[in-house]
Amino acid sequence: MKATIVTIGDEILIGQIIDTNSGFIAKALDRIGVQTHELLSISDDKQHILDTFASLQNKVDFVIITGGLGPTKDDITKHTFCEYFNDTLVINKEVETHVIELIESVMKRPASQMNKDQALVPSKCQVLFNKFGTAPGMWMKKENTVYISLPGVPYEMKYIVENEIIPKIVNEYKRPYILHKTIMTYGQGESLVAERIEDWENSLPEYIKLAYLPAPGRVRLRLTGRGTNKELLENTIKDKVQSLAKIIGDIIVGFNEDETIEVVLGRLLSQQGKTIATAESCSGGKIAQELTSVTGASNYFRGGVVTYATDTKVSILGVSPKTIEEFSVVSAEVATEMALGVQKLMKSDYAIATTGNAGPSKGDADATLGTVFIALATPNGILVEEFNFGQPREKVIDRTVNKAFELLQKEILKNV
């Protein structure tokens, strides 16, 4: 089964807001075996919407639309639905009661006529209840295609998708199985990983596809199986993952989409009863941000400092001014003193420190743009490495964070 997701709104087309709804809907559909065929963003223009509806008629099973359901004149989705389906708007009493109760209980004022008009829906539609807002979702079918309209407000859209749409599709439609398995790798680029697993990839059956999802310092490998035999898909993917681990087990850190290296590190630190602290310069606090994005990080993350200016490395971390003068602020020696300083300051078992030239200008050091030193203080000593991550600035920062995590993981695993 195939679906097209359509977002309506000029604010998306001009970059005023970012479309996060499509990704959520696509994932929800994928979990129940509905493949997203296309993502579209179109303007708040009636003819544009009508043309889009017509172009998708009988080409996909579901057209899911978000946006344009508000109470103001620029929200035209309901009226456009009526024109496309040759229908008229009528008051839905259940929605009207909900709207009045919501306005009076939350806003503490009487519902206006504009609020009550949110209960106007096409007479032929199946209403999808919106617990958290005033705009209901709408489900209408024309020939072989179902058109589903959802509010653009993310938390309202999510409620309707999870509680109305997904259960309805599951109950009313027979769907194939779509299974995914994501393998998280760190430390080698996409091309090198591809070379190492070329023979393995060529051995995959037709119903199993491999996708490379690279990012600076990390590559996700996603296996996708599609078919009607769930047991066959599960067993084949399991066997292929096991054989893959024999080839690149040295760079695999996890086997699920949510099994990021930050999650793995948190689990390892918790299991060993160890703690971590950070002292960041060129990475600007992003290492600490990623570590604390994991639930339960308070069990092992002691704290972090961003000593971006040279003098703060001295005053907060105790880096020697003589070290900076002799070796430069971007050096292995400074990174070492930063790591030892924050390890002492935070009383942690492990400590990561970064200093470098992320660019685009050199700042207080003469090191080549992209040069980064990462130091790791451990219960057994200190190690420091130099890298050049090139440009642009964003790439340098991302690769610094990922490489720091890779070094930390390898060091922790020595004690497992």
Q: What is the pLDDT of residues 34-44, one digit of tens each?
A: 999 999 999 98
Q: How many CB atoms lie within 10 A of CB 93?
A: 9
Any bridge partners for residue 177, and if so which? 227
pLDDT band for 255, please (50, 70, 90 cuts): confident
Same domain, 7 and 155: yes
Residues 245, 410: Cα–Cα separation, whole Å: 17
pLDDT score at 149:
95
Task: Judge whether 258 and 267 are in contact, CB under 8 Å.
Answer: no
Specify the pairing of strand 120-122 against strand 381-388. Answer: unpaired
Q: How many angstroms separate the CA atoms of 202 and 212, rounded?
A: 14
d(Cα 147, Cα 7) in Å, to the nearest integer?
A: 13
Per-residue pLDDT averaged across 171-176, rounded?
A: 91
pLDDT above 70: residue 74: no
Same domain, 181 and 168: no
**Same domain, yes or no: 203 and 348:** no
Average pLDDT over residues 199-227: 93
Check whether 380 has a pLDDT greater than 80: yes
Phi, psi of 188 (to 5 degrees): -135, 145
CB 34 within 8 A of CB 3: yes
Give the residue from 198, 227, 254 where a domain finishes: 254
Closest CA to 253 of 406, 415, 412: 406
The count of residues in the chain is 416
* The pLDDT of residue 416: 67
| Main-chain dihedrals φ then ψ at residue 166, nearest 5 degrees | -60, -50
306 SS3 class: strand
Query: Does residue 362 or residue 32 have the better pLDDT?
Result: 32
Residues 147 and 195 in one domain: no
Question: Residue 69: what pLDDT?
Answer: 80
Answer yes or no: is pLDDT of 77 > 90. Answer: no
SS (HEC) of 290-353: HHHCCCCHHHCEEEEEECCCHHHHHHCCCCCHHHHHHHCCCCHHHHHHHHHHHHHHHCCCEEEE
How far from 76 is each of 11, 107, 153, 158, CA to CA, in Å?
A: 15, 25, 16, 21
The CATH number that applies at residue 238 is: 3.30.70.2860
Q: Which of 162, 89, 174 is nearest to 129 (CA)?
A: 162
**Angstrom distance (rounded) from CA 261 to CA 402:** 8
Asked if residue 368 has pLDDT above 90, the reply is no
- Say if CB 45 and CB 129 are below 8 A apart: no
Q: Determine the residue type at 146.
A: V
Check residue 185 and give its pLDDT: 92
Verify that 284 and 195 share a domain, yes or no: no
- Which residue type is seen at 389? F
Q: What is the CATH number of the domain that holds 34?
A: 3.40.980.10
Instruction: State the residue range of the domain holding 132.
Output: 2-172
CATH number for 300: 3.90.950.20
**Where is pLDDT greater, at 72 or 171?**
171
Residue reference for tokens 């990012």: 215
Percentage of the chain exceeding pLDDT 90: 76
- Looking at the fold, whether 143 and 198 belong to one and the same domain comes out as no
pTM of the model: 0.66
Question: Both tokens of residue 43?
Answer: 């303007």
Q: Are residues 19 and 158 in the same domain?
A: yes
Same domain as 139, residue 106: yes
What does the mean pLDDT of the chain come to?
92
Residue 388: Cβ within 10 Å count: 15
Q: How far apart are CA 316 and CA 344, in angstroms?
A: 11
Question: Sorting pLDDT into bands at 50, 70 and 90, what band is 26?
Answer: very high
Strands (E), 155-207: 177-186
Can you name the residues that pair with 126 across neighbouring β-strands? Answer: 139
Same domain? 11 vs 132: yes
Do 21 and 153 lie in one domain? The reply is yes
Same domain? 208 vs 113: no
Q: What is the mean pLDDT of residues 266-277?
A: 96
Instruction: Kindly state the tokens that stand for 367.
Output: 């090191």
Whole-number pLDDT of residue 10: 86
Among the residue ranges 95-109, 139-153, 337-351, the one predicted with the least confidence is 95-109
Mark which of 197, 219, 254 sits at the end of a domain: 254
146 and 271 belong to one structural domain: no
d(CA 270, CA 274): 6
Q: Encode 107-127: b = buried (16+ Cβ within 10 Å), e = exposed.
A: eeeebeeebbbbbbbbebbbb
- Checking if the pLDDT of 62 tops 70, the result is yes
Q: Is the pLDDT score of 280 beyond 80?
A: yes
At 117 the pLDDT is: 87
Number of folded domains in the chain? 3
Residue 71 in this model has a pLDDT that exceeds 80: no
Q: β-strand 276-280 against 350-356: which pairing, if any?
A: parallel
